[in-house]
Amino acid sequence: MSVPAFTPSSAFRHEPNATPVEANERAKRLIDPGFGRVFTDHMAMIRYSETEGWHDARITARAPLTIDPASSVLHYAQEIFEGMKAYRLANGGTALFRPEANARRFQDSARRLAMPELPTELFLESVERLVKTDATWIPESDGGALYLRPFMFASEVFLGVKPSAEYLYMVLASSVGAYFKGGAPTVSIWVSQQYTRAAQGGTGAAKCGGNYAASLLAQSEAIRNGCDQVVFLDAAERRWVEELGGMNIFFVFDDGSMATPALTGTILPGITRDSILTLARANGITVREEGYTIEQWRADAASGRLVEAFACGTAAVVTPIGTVASPEGRFTIGDGAPGALTMRMRDALVSIQRGTAPDENNWLHHLAD
């Protein structure tokens, strides 16, 4: 079915929040915002229907939603989301990091969940307008950023099992600091052996809420065992390392090479992951995308062949892994401290995001004043 065309710039409405947070109160909240708890004054919203296409686009006051209890998303979980950040640059400007990649992945997720694909220009317009509207919410503290959460869900009021005919797309903005509380130098990982995250033919490569819901029990198990995060093994053999509950993973070896699990349809294609691959190869580092078993991980850590490991994602950026635990016992990677190559990759990435290093790949999407 053909739907009406949408012209982003001419169709967005701006509805200012009539009661924004006072400047002094906002300043207090930005001192130590943590992650995902401090929200800005506005949000973006666009509706979709099979008859009207994308319509009713606006930047409006952030407020609770009123939805019918028979809305499709509440029963069949047609929902996808993205995670990205807006940064205050060293020169005082503001930029998004690789938002076009987020737009493409959002389209890929929509396709897998039988949802309409949001045009790239409309995705970009929505996040740009929201960041410009709430730019004063970007923390000035070291590591601070404005985390953006574009998401879309099925809003048709209908209890039949079918793709929804109506959807609501929204973007929230949240002032954030460090992802891991206390800024721990390394994190500890629990190897989940009872639970898996995804299987071939499933939704592992899509960024949908169901994947994260399925990870929560395993994450709780990790915390009970004194670990910060959980890492999942493949569903077929329960041997091959795939990814953490919300991050991709890299391994660093004593010959200076790196490896990360290959994208086989069960792993989320992380934008931070792709950025690290690009930066490493540009700096002459050999990087392999290949399978790596938990048995090999344990053996390589014991022999000293594996010297570093780190997790990566939009929220946590690059986070060193110090120890790994499972019912078989616990082992330490290297000396348990952040590794040199890990921190080198982190610094290289953050320097580009903050505008203090050359952006040779044109990853920064600068926002005009």
* This model's pTM is above 0.85: yes
Q: Which residues contact 214 (CB under 8 A, 6 or more apart)?
A: 195, 197
- Over the chain (369 residues), the average pLDDT of each successive run of 10 is 53 94 97 94 98 96 97 97 96 96 98 98 97 96 92 97 98 88 79 94 96 96 96 96 96 98 96 98 97 98 98 93 96 96 96 96 92
Q: Which residues contact 357 (CB under 8 A, 6 or more apart)?
A: 348, 351
Supply the pLDDT for residue 1: 43
- Quick one: tokens of 205? 């490569």
Supply the pLDDT for residue 141: 84
Task: Give the span between the Cα atoms of 302 and 283, in whole angstroms.
Answer: 28
71 neighbors 209 (Cβ within 8 angstroms): no
Task: Give the span between the Cα atoms of 352 and 95, in whole angstroms.
Answer: 11
Supply the pLDDT for residue 180: 61
Supply the pLDDT for residue 140: 87
